[in-house]
């Protein structure tokens, strides 16, 4: 397992972040315990959960599974209710109760909302840290400018800054390349990515022009059949490339995400130890620049902008501004 620096916190975490959304849903507590034990044994230290997963049941499972192992993992959870101060305070207490922990390592605002009050949010997060209930705070799904505004408020008041932005990023969802990833590179914001495997579309499970497999997420998530039709030819070429490379399509999807120097830790959820082993193995697969470009060009998914000059490129440039002297050139440290 590779290890990476987490923002400017001084913490080192595993490059793989184990997602838990399927625990209590697609796999039971017994299998969850096997997965977590195997992950820890193979060097995974970074685990992400959330109160909304199975309406809190996932946190309850994790609390039982991690008994006696708390010092081996860096745990993230997220606000579930609203993003007003009362909800932020109540959510952390409820999560800690379900997790049977005194604190989490990272506490995230799960989603921004129209009309949100950044100063009240940052003050509430400061209180959570001051109370010893979270070591660090961050956000999920924040536009770059909202994260910047929030951290400016925190700096003004001497409160903890947001250290992490958890975002969807993969070969189909590439909006983060516009300003979010460049901001992370410049300011040392840890980027964790979810939907790394695009809801399973890049696992080889779904084949263009074939019937959707039964008992899969495609039965309830309409994005899967829609994207399978829209990007069918790209997915076919992607699967063929993985076969030529001698790796599983899911491993290729992970390798593509982790190739970006702005990505700290791809977040991957599994529902079996078999899937876990294949996922862990993916973190030893490095693409060459030529391979990365070839795979990227299979999908016409870069955000399109009409422009008569260089503005679109500038919004995606990872090295436009020198990185802060106090930070490494990249959040990654393998």
Q: What is the mean pLDDT of residues 176-190?
A: 93
Residue 315: the pLDDT is 80
Buried b (16+ CB within 10 A) or exposed e, 226-240: ebbeebeebbeebbe
Share of residues in the chain with pLDDT > 70 (%): 94
pLDDT tens per residue across span 123-133: 999 999 999 99
Kindly report which listed range (41-55, 242-256, 297-311) carries the lowest average pLDDT score: 297-311
Average model confidence (pLDDT) for the chain?
Answer: 91
Which class does domain 3-314 fall in? alpha beta
Per-residue CA distances from 61 to 29, 33, 102, 272 (Å): 6, 9, 16, 16
pLDDT tens per residue across span 166-182: 999 999 999 999 999 99
> CA-CA distance, 36 to 10, in Å (whole number)?
25
Does the annotation count 53 as an active-site position? Answer: yes
Q: Which of 53, 107, 169, 194 is catalytic?
A: 53
Total-model pTM: 0.89
Residue 329: the pLDDT is 41
């Amino acid at each position: 397992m590779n290890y990476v620096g987490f923002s400017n916190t001084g913490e080192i975490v595993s490059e793989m972040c184990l997602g838990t959304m399927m625990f209590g849903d697609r796999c039971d507590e017994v299998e969850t315990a096997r997965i977590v034990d195997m992950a820890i044994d193979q060097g995974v230290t970074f685990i992400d959960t959330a109160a909304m997963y199975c309406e809190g049941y996932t946190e309850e499972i994790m609390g039982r599974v991690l008994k006696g192992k708390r010092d081996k993992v860096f745990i993230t959870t997220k606000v579930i209710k609203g993003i007003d101060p009362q909800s932020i305070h109540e959510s952390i207490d409820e999560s800690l109760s379900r997790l049977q922990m005194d604190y989490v390592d990272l506490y995230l605002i799960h989603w921004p909302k129209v009309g949100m009050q950044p100063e009240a949010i940052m003050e509430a997060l400061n209180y959570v840290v001051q109370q010893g209930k979270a070591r660090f705070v961050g956000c999920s799904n924040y536009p770059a400018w909202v994260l910047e505004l929030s951290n400016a408020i925190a700096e003004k008041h001497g409160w903890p800054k947001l250290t992490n932005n958890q975002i969807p990023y993969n070969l189909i969802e590439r909006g983060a390349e516009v300003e979010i990833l460049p901001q992370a590179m410049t300011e040392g914001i840890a980027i964790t990515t979810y939907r790394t495997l695009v809801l399973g579309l890049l696992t080889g499970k779904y084949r263009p022009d074939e019937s959707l497999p039964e008992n899969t997420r495609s039965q309830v998530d309409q994005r899967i059949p829609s994207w399978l039709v829209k990007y069918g030819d790209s997915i076919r070429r992607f699967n063929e490339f993985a076969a030529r490379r001698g790796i599983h399509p899911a491993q290729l999807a992970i390798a593509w995400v982790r190739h970006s120097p702005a990505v700290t830790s791809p977040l991957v959820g599994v529902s079996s130890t078999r899937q876990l082993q294949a996922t862990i193995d993916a973190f030893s697969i490095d693409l060459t620049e030529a391979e990365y470009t070839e795979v990227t060009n299979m999908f016409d998914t870069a955000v399109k902008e009409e422009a008569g000059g260089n503005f679109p490129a500038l919004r995606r440039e990872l090295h436009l501004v020198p990185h802060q002297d106090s930070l490494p050139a990249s959040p990654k440290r393998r």
